[in-house]
Amino acid sequence: MEYQMVFYKALQDDEEFMRALQIMLSKGAFATDLLITLGRRLNFAYDEKLTNIIKNHPEGDVSHLIWRLHTACWAAHSCLELDGAFVECGVQDGTFAYTILEYLSLKNKKDFYLYDTFSGIPDRYNTLQEIDLNHDQFKDHGQYEKLKNRFSEFNNVHLVKGVLPDKLSDKCPEKISFLHMDLNNHESERDTLRVLIDKLTPGGIVLFQSYELDIYKIWKISDDDFIKENNIKILSLPTGQGMFVKR
């Protein structure tokens, strides 16, 4: 499968880096989404159902996210037979939720709760160190209405607008089998996880979207006392994600 070679602004504008990348690509490297690997089979790139969803995605070309999307679909698939709803905290343009729903053919089946402020990181979580994360892409440019329309035929999708973890007191499933965390702020993810941890079904998976991405240097959920006290061991993934299984 052909994919977009996306390395974000600083690296994308570095001519020396991009020339070196072209050489690596000629040697068979996989290189996009801040990830470069050599000597991998990339079996997911031959998954026809996944690649077709990515090619025809309503947000346009998201091929650079293929490894992360594959990981999210694998994790969600592993939780299909478990009791409990799917939950995503931090929806943005809906790319991951949409791909999971389509890949697993979940229309009108397992409940899927999607939470987002659609207005950036809440003030109480947007510290001086993290002010740079509250940039324009997290603002609402009509995404909430767009997603309401996109998922209008999915009776199992519950799109919830509001601040987490506060909004969980209004609308939250009793049991959760798969939890996707993408709030781009370790304190808000910690506080949300603190509320949801007891709702997680044993064997359920929590997937952190930005766990290992160096662009979020101050995002240190693994160092949080709540994580340590609950003896949670997060698996670091080369995609930049992190994952743990509820025991």
pLDDT confidence tier of residue 146, bands split at 50, 70 and 90: very high
Q: How far apart are CA 49 and CA 204, in angstroms?
A: 24
Q: Which residue has the tokens 């007891």?
A: 198
Read off the pLDDT of residues 52-77 as tens digits, 9 standing for 90 and up. Answer: 999 999 989 999 999 999 999 999 99
Mean pLDDT of 35-42: 93
Residue 8 has pLDDT above 90, yes or no: no
114 secondary structure, DSSP code = E
**Range with the poorest average pLDDT among 10-19, 90-99, 120-129, 207-216:** 120-129
The predicted structure's pLDDT at residue 165: 95
CATH tag for 55-245 (out of 3.90.600.10, 3.30.1490.190, 3.40.50.150, 3.40.50.720): 3.40.50.150
The predicted structure's pLDDT at residue 4: 81
Read off the pLDDT of residues 153-194 as tens digits, 9 standing for 90 and up. Answer: 999 999 999 999 999 999 999 999 999 999 988 888 999 999
**Which among 95, 77, 94 has a CA at the least distance from the CA of 86?**
77
Residue 114 phi/psi, 5-degree rounding, is -120, 115
- One-letter-per-residue 3-state SS of 14-55: CHHHHHHHHHHHHCCCEEECCEEECCCCCHHHHCHHHHHHHH
The predicted structure's pLDDT at residue 218: 52
- Helices 95-103 and 48-55 pack at an angle, to 10 degrees, of 140
The predicted structure's pLDDT at residue 73: 98
Q: How far apart are CA 239 and CA 222, in angstroms?
A: 17
| Of 21 and 1, the one with more pLDDT | 21
Amino acid at 159: L
Mean pLDDT of 221-246: 91
Question: pTM of the predicted model, to two decimals?
Answer: 0.92
The predicted structure's pLDDT at residue 128: 46
Half-sphere exposure of 59 (CA within 13 A, CB side): 17
Mean pLDDT of 235-242: 94
Residue 124 has pLDDT above 90, yes or no: no
Contact 182, 94 (CB under 8 A): no
Q: Which SS3 state, helix, strand or coil, does residue 115 take?
A: strand
Domain ranges of the chain: 1-40, 55-245
Residue 97 has pLDDT above 60, yes or no: yes
Burial class (CB in 10 A: 0-12, 13-18, 19+), 115: buried
Alpha-carbon torsion (87, 181, 159, 8), positive or negative: negative
86 secondary structure, DSSP code = E
Mean pLDDT of 74-92: 97
Using CA atoms, how far residue 113 sits from 123, 187, 225, in Å, is: 23, 21, 27
How many Cβ atoms sit within 10 Å of the Cβ of residue 180? 24
